[in-house]
Amino acid sequence: MGAEGHRHEHRGGEEPEVKHDAHDPCTEELGSRVYSLDLAAIRERLAKSTGKEYWRSLEELSGNPHFEELLHREFPRQASEWDESVDRRDFLKLMAASLALAGLSGCGRKPEETIVPYVNQPAGMTPGKPQYYATAMPLGADAIGLLVESHEGRPTKIEGNPDHPGSLGATNAFAQASILGLYDPDRSQVLTYLGEIRAWSSFLESAVATAPMLKATGGAGLRILTGSVTSPTLAAQLRALLAQYPQAKWHQWETAGSDGAREGGKLAFGRYVNTVYRPAKANVIVSLDSDFLGSGPGHVRYAKEFFRRRKLSGEHAEMSRLYVLEPTPSVTGAVADHSIPMKASDVGLFARALAAKLGLGGSASVPAEREKLLEAAAADLQKHRGASFVIAGEYQPAEVHALAHAINQALLNAAAGGTVYYTEPVEMQPVNHLESLRELCADMDAGRVDTLLILGGNPVYDAPHDLDFVSKLKKARLSFHLSQYFDETSEYCQWHIPEAHYLESWSDVRAFDGTASVVQPLIAPLYQGKTAHDVIGAFSDKPGLSSYERVRNTWVGGHTEKDWRKWLHDGVIGGTAFAPMAITSKWNPASLLPAKPAPADQLEFIFRPDPSVYDGRFANNGWLQELPKPVSKLTWDNAALVSPKTAEKLGLTHRAAWTGGEHGQILSDVVDVDLAGSKVTAAAWTLPGQADGVVTLPLGYGRSKSGQTGTNKGFNAYVVRASTGIWCATGGTLRKTGLEYPLACTQYHHNMEGRELVRSASLDEYKHNPNFAHKGAEEPPKELTLYKEFAYPGYAWGMAIDLASCNGCNACVVACVSENNIAIVGKDQVMRGREMHWIRIDRYYEGSLDSPETFFQPVPCQQCENAPCEQVCPVGATLHSAEGLNDMVYNRCVGTRYCSNNCPYKVRRFNFLRFQDWETPALKLMRNPEVTVRSRGVMEKCTYCVQRINNARIEVEKENRPIRDGEIVTACEAACPAEAIVFGNANDPKSRVAKLKAQQRNYTILAELNARPRTTYLAAVRNPNPELEKPGTPPGDKR
């Protein structure tokens, strides 16, 4: 055994480090011995080889004589050791090594640059224990920093990275669901040329073959189309390529991107800027159709800050105030203190009037009924100069953004240390995307495009229909499409290159405030995916470099290896956040041309990325498809959203079907939308809180070429989206067809039926009576039960959910699905009322139908102390644990469903059929190995993430100490950007959860049943402007 074998070192410094350090002496010993298998040479060979990118299997490696020898000899090198010291321990260690070797081909999906798996056991790795690696998920012009849980090389769960400014430990539904995107068996798995399978090398040949021609013309025929690029490395590559071929052009088209924000900044400041908000410092926020808590750059961070600013405890009773003007209800509007439905085009008028009111010049009038609101909002903003901000929505035109900038400047909000600051743009090359795409189309049409590289994106599907991208694309002589799916665009391109998922790629990305992160892979590409770096690299003068080398080269210059390792470990490249820029707007709102209010009789059509499938890129993600949309609670479909009044006017209705009914199948009227010279047929959906006369057409559905999950779901709103009305269009008609379409809606019933499930008060009422949540509530004495009380001498796990903080963003729901291996059931089963989510978010309205207050209430298992479910189970499959959990014993469950019938909270979920996919191999890799995969006929429900509780218990028993508060974080709690969910030991008065439960706002739903849930709620408190009495809301206590 060579001396080298005993060396315990970090191999290949680029190896991702363990985030949550779990050094174990046994592991170290085992690790050092296992090294004695002389694989170092092989590793060196691998490190030196540059021809191939990754080795995928044992066979590939076995070409090496050393490795063959290793395979053919049963115990290479160790044979001598056997004779000398054969004992049981050594035997076991060696066996472990052999087993690891046996698993080599199966678990070998790790990047070549870093790891030879298992044989060289990574430091700190204990088989069976997860490791966490930091990475970042790019989405549009933003990125969120993540920690990814990895079990034996398989990423299984996404968590937020507390060190990343865009996450602060929280995530959103898209990030949570991206783990399914990684393993999606429908992802494109092969590189094709005209539909025939080709090798990567033949693509390389083809790319290299273009070089002489490109060189000759200076790249005149070369066009590159990307989405928003926030990767410094990719941008550097593109710039280098453009420098090499000066005639080539780089176009960008991000269909859900915000040209308004970009151009608005340019209008106000004369240059592209990036705006960063600080909701933590703001007392008053006016959102001009901005969903800054639910979507757009930095929204997770903003939600964290916003809700932290609004946390109430006994002594602290101050909240910021949020006004939201929006045409269609968003999660931001749902938690606003004043949410005002307003046509998208009227928002601009309101902004002008607000600017005028604040003395910025210009003039605009608002309708009489908005006068009061305008007065109040302006006064509030004035009062909180420097501690307020106005934020314009991503889908509002440039002038609204410019107005918001002007107002923020005038109110000194953008002063140093204020609530808003400006930085260099996060996008590496900000351009007007629509113009950029238009230019590309014109060039293609004119035959000026010889070679087209489409890196990601799906323009055939999502480009404005009037640009007629398809017919123009056909004129390009040679087209390449890099994409995760063989989609609509791939069909029209000669070359299709499967794109690596971000969890399989080396890259880098900047977040909303400029902070850069290295995107590091958790696994080698499952389906031979390539990155944009690879594809651009193939056309560059340095085709041989790997993505890893390119990313590393971007950053390591001037830094040490240690710095690089720290960046990978932290998930953040320190000091890369952009510094605030000192710029002032010289733009005068008075320079705007006068505008007229939108004609009341004309329908306004607005487009919005769907809250579940975004712009269509997540269409094949079942977790997101089945996720009830925050406000409408629709799944698996989009629908044309209209207000109740508009629906009445157009005669649109929907009704609950017999099958599934209110909790499942809703039959909705079908409408023909005729807009911008194009037509689409859609299901209509009436949404309280929608502005009258506005039809929302959610994007991202109606995919004709997605995977099994995403194809032909909903209607394709892009069909009627023209370049003249990217986000808002008028002049269209909506006609009832007389047909009905079944929609899968998980909660059709809006009304609480007087049951006080959600309790709320205004801040004034709360100050006046902090105990308002208990007024008139029936709370029976504990003794009123037939059975003996349980004693909880140790831990008593409990949860408190602050309804003042929940904005219904759904991150917790997807986090729960991912953590607990929850099956998706499909539209048909959702329509039968059989969706499996362990935590659901109930949405209730209060007040008028046209402008209601919206409340969200996450409902996981309530873990009752006096649980109705436990008493009726005939076989004892649901039992009370010593710590107060209602444990489910899956293998004991016979499936009588009695427990579910007797559960007043209806949180139990039954496997009516075999909902889990037991066959698809990729999905097996995805599952959390610590949670049973349930089969049919078994009841299941939220367990408070009991696997996490038990992991913590094992850890603390080793250290002989009690579990500390915050040591166990449930999946839903971890994901929540609003910190609305807090879990802990209710027996410990110092724990966060006990403190919350001690608050007067704390209440139990259905307390009169004496089930005594461990999950309790903190009543919602909103901070409406006392000068504005909400129409339709009776004054006084509104519990």
Partner 1 sequence: MSSANSVPPFRRVAPVLEPGHTYASVTEKISSIVLSRPAGTGWYLAFTLAFGLVMMLGMALAYLIAKGTGIWGINIPVGWGFAIVNFVWWIGIGHAGTLISAILLLLNQKWRTSINRFAEAMTIFAVMCAGIFPLIHTGRPWLAYYMLPYPSTMGVWPQFRSPLIWDVFAVSTYFTVSLLFWFVGLIPDLATLRDRAHSRLAQQLYGILAMGWRGSARHWHRYQSAYLLLAGLATPLVVSVHTVVSFDFAIAIVPGWHTTIFPPYFVAGAIYSGFAMVLTLAIPLRKIYGLEDFITMRHLENMAKVMLATGLIVAYGYAMEFFMSYYGGSKFETFLAHNRLTGPYWPFYWALILCNLVVPQLLWFHKVRVHVPTLFLLSLVVNVGMWLERFVIVVISLHRDFMPSAWGMYAPTFWDWATYIGTLGMFLALLLLFVRALPVISIAEMRELVAHTSEEQK
Q: List residues binding partner 1 (CB under 8 A).
A: 656-664, 747, 749, 751-755, 757, 787, 829, 832-834, 840, 842-844, 857, 859, 868, 871-876, 892-898, 900-902, 904-906, 908-914, 936-939, 1005-1006, 1008-1009
Nearer to partner 1, 258 or 863 (CB): 863
Contact (CB, 8 A) for 757 and 905: no
Q: At what angle do helices 40-48 and 65-72 cross, to 10 degrees?
A: 150
Residue 53 CA to residue 49 CA, distance in Å, equals 8
Nearer to partner 1, 401 or 832 (CB): 832
**Shortest reach from residue 122's CB to partner 1, in Å:** 39
DSSP letter at 789? P
Number of neighbours of residue 849 by Cβ within 10 angstroms: 15
Contact (CB, 8 A) for 430 and 585: no
Nearer to partner 1, 81 or 1008 (CB): 1008
Q: Any bridge partners for residue 672, and if so which?
A: 681, 735
Residue with structure tokens 């909705």? 668
DSSP letter at 581? B
**Shortest reach from residue 992's CB to partner 1, in Å:** 27
Tell me the residue length of the chain. 1039
**Shortest reach from residue 753's CB to partner 1, in Å:** 5
**Shortest reach from residue 377's CB to partner 1, in Å:** 33
**Shortest reach from residue 1015's CB to partner 1, in Å:** 13
**Shortest reach from residue 1007's CB to partner 1, in Å:** 12
Q: Any bridge partners for residue 608, and if so which?
A: 698
Q: How far is CA 893 from CA 63, 821, 875, 898, 938, in A?
A: 52, 18, 7, 11, 6
**Shortest reach from residue 659's CB to partner 1, in Å:** 5
**Shortest reach from residue 463's CB to partner 1, in Å:** 40
Nearer to partner 1, 427 or 870 (CB): 870
Nearer to partner 1, 403 or 666 (CB): 666
DSSP letter at 124? T
Closest CA to 594 of 268, 391, 258, 356: 356
Residue 983 CA to residue 968 CA, distance in Å, equals 8
The radius of gyration of the chain from alpha carbons, rounded to an integer in Å, stands at 29
Residue 369 CA to residue 852 CA, distance in Å, equals 16
Segments in 397-432 forming alpha helices (H): 398-410
**Shortest reach from residue 886's CB to partner 1, in Å:** 13
**Shortest reach from residue 906's CB to partner 1, in Å:** 4
Number of neighbours of residue 395 by Cβ within 10 angstroms: 26
**Shortest reach from residue 759's CB to partner 1, in Å:** 15
Nearer to partner 1, 799 or 925 (CB): 799
Q: Which phi and psi angles does 327 have, rounded to 5°?
A: -80, -25
Number of neighbours of residue 1016 by Cβ within 10 angstroms: 22
DSSP letter at 376? H
CA dihedral 486, 113, 232, 451 (to 10 degrees): -40
**Shortest reach from residue 2's CB to partner 1, in Å:** 52
Nearer to partner 1, 42 or 877 (CB): 877
- Residue 446: CB partners within 8 Å, gap ≥ 6? none
**Shortest reach from residue 1035's CB to partner 1, in Å:** 24
Contact (CB, 8 A) for 148 and 522: yes
Q: At what angle do helices 173-183 and 811-819 cross, to 10 degrees?
A: 40
Three-class SS state of 695 = strand
Contact (CB, 8 A) for 492 and 473: yes
Nearer to partner 1, 242 or 752 (CB): 752
Nearer to partner 1, 155 or 826 (CB): 826
**Shortest reach from residue 837's CB to partner 1, in Å:** 11
Contact (CB, 8 A) for 440 and 251: yes
Nearer to partner 1, 594 or 874 (CB): 874
**Shortest reach from residue 623's CB to partner 1, in Å:** 19
Written as one string, the DSSP assignment of 31-81 is HHHHTTS--HHHHHHHHH--S-S---SHHHHTTSHHHHHHHHSSSTTTHHH
Residue with structure tokens 């609670």? 633
**Shortest reach from residue 840's CB to partner 1, in Å:** 7
Nearer to partner 1, 94 or 893 (CB): 893
Nearer to partner 1, 461 or 1017 (CB): 1017
Nearer to partner 1, 3 or 787 (CB): 787
Nearer to partner 1, 36 or 810 (CB): 810
Closest CA to 948 of 971, 929, 979, 920: 971
- Residue 291: CB partners within 8 Å, gap ≥ 6? 299, 326, 330, 331, 332, 333, 393, 394
Nearer to partner 1, 827 or 843 (CB): 843
Q: At what angle do helices 259-269 and 398-410 cross, to 10 degrees?
A: 50
**Shortest reach from residue 941's CB to partner 1, in Å:** 10
Residue with structure tokens 């113009």? 435
Residue 882 CA to residue 746 CA, distance in Å, equals 34
Nearer to partner 1, 277 or 685 (CB): 685
Residue 311 CA to residue 915 CA, distance in Å, equals 40
Written as one string, the DSSP assignment of 764-785 is HHHHH-TTGGGTT-----TT--
User: Could you tell me the two tokens for 55?
Assistant: 């080795």
Nearer to partner 1, 437 or 631 (CB): 631
Closest CA to 635 of 854, 834, 458, 820: 834
**Shortest reach from residue 306's CB to partner 1, in Å:** 25
- Cβ-in-10-Å burial (0-12, 13-18, 19+) of 200 comes to middle
Nearer to partner 1, 444 or 873 (CB): 873
